[in-house]
Amino acid sequence: MRGDVAPNESSATELADGTVYFSARDQGSTPGRRVDTTSGDGGQSFDRPYQAANGIVTSQVQGSVLALSPHEVNSRLVFSAPGHPTARENLTLWSSFDQAATWRSGLVVYRGPSGYSDLVEIDPRTVGVLFENGDRLDEGATQTYHQRISFARIPVPLLGKPTGPTMRTPDTSGHDLGGVVSGRPTRAGGVFGHALDFAGDHVEVPLTGSLSFDEGAFTAAVWFRTTASEDQAIFWAHATADGEPKWWIRLEPGQGRVHAVIDTGAASRTVPVPGTFNDGEWHHVALTRNEEELVMYVDGVRGGSAGPVAGSVSDDARTGIRVGARVDGVNNPFRGRLDEVWLFDRALTADEVRALAAGNVAPAGAQLHLPLDQTYRHG
């Protein structure tokens, strides 16, 4: 159950009446990963236990809080942290005008990988933000959130600026669940029409009931093409931590395979399919789950299977499904082209998977279809 609180890495500021406000990273299970409390005696004791902060959703990470002058009842508090529920990315500023009772998100300072931050009031018109950040794709073997530390000067009138339009790629299934495009993948030739060429970029589809799948059957399918030798996430759903429900498909060239995992928290199953799939050719992968077995098909052929696993793959999910990256951000980025993303709320038959791989012919009832032919600005 959500709601267990385990605060650490607290940041403090003084409210208008002299009360000290504490904002802390939550290592527990609150929905927004941020908790707060106050102290009326200068920090000698807390007025109440830490509880979930109202209006902040961030990843499990440090954040910074600052009260702007003048210190009046309606003066502004500012909070900085990554603006994603599971990934350290999109360094965002939140504001409160009711002494931290509620918060609302505002300016996105940096749209790439970002981590720890610190706030300072430079003058009555300017706030400074010192923050860890990095590129989406580094030259090193391990990706990090802190390739560099940057300092940004933010005029106070811009603190509440809306995040602006996002890039999306349309869903043609009829459910209008267009994927949010992160980074700048370029359009390139695909298997059917165009594809997107990824280099540390990803597409994220929202957390919705129709794509949560829970204890039920489902199918995930996509075309991929790469020559990279690193592990690369193709699909990743909901979580990364041990014991949290999730499912994923990853290309693992170092082990000569494409590999899928379905984890319900209580139990998990893996389905590896051996082969050399980073050969620069297009390959089709499809993972199916039903109450009898898990099956992974590669290029329309049944390549591996495992016994059934009971339980939900999406219980208490914090985020949706990513194509081209893990849901925690910069790890295992896909480097190459992806095309024709399909999700179904049932396990397709072998014949249906074969038809999908051979001619992109899908049965009725798709919950999501991202052709990845185009991107557009939304909002």
Cα(232)–Cα(336) distance, rounded to whole angstroms? 10
Q: Give the HSE-up count for residue 259: Cα atoms under 13 Å, Cβ half-sphere.
A: 15
Burial of 51: CB neighbours in 10 Å, binned 0-12, 13-18, 19+: middle
Averaged over 354-369, what is the pLDDT? 97
Query: What are 126-155's pLDDT values in tens digits?
Result: 999 999 998 877 655 556 667 899 999 999
Across the chain, mean pLDDT equals 94
Portion of the chain with pLDDT greater than 90, in percent: 86
Query: What are 31-42's pLDDT values in tens digits?
Result: 999 999 999 999
Query: What are 96-127's pLDDT values in tens digits?
Result: 999 999 999 999 999 989 999 999 999 999 99
- Residue in the block written with tokens 């990853």: 250
Cα(257)–Cα(377) distance, rounded to whole angstroms? 36
Cα(226)–Cα(332) distance, rounded to whole angstroms? 13
Whole-prediction pTM value? 0.92
- Do 256 and 272 touch, CB atoms closer than 8 A? no
- Do 372 and 203 touch, CB atoms closer than 8 A? yes
- Do 23 and 50 touch, CB atoms closer than 8 A? no
Query: What are 65-101's pLDDT values in tens digits?
Result: 999 998 777 799 999 999 999 999 999 999 999 999 9
* pLDDT score, position 1: 37
Cα(308)–Cα(196) distance, rounded to whole angstroms? 33
Query: What are 294-305's pLDDT values in tens digits?
Result: 999 999 999 999
* pLDDT score, position 139: 53
**Is residue 172 over pLDDT 70?**
yes
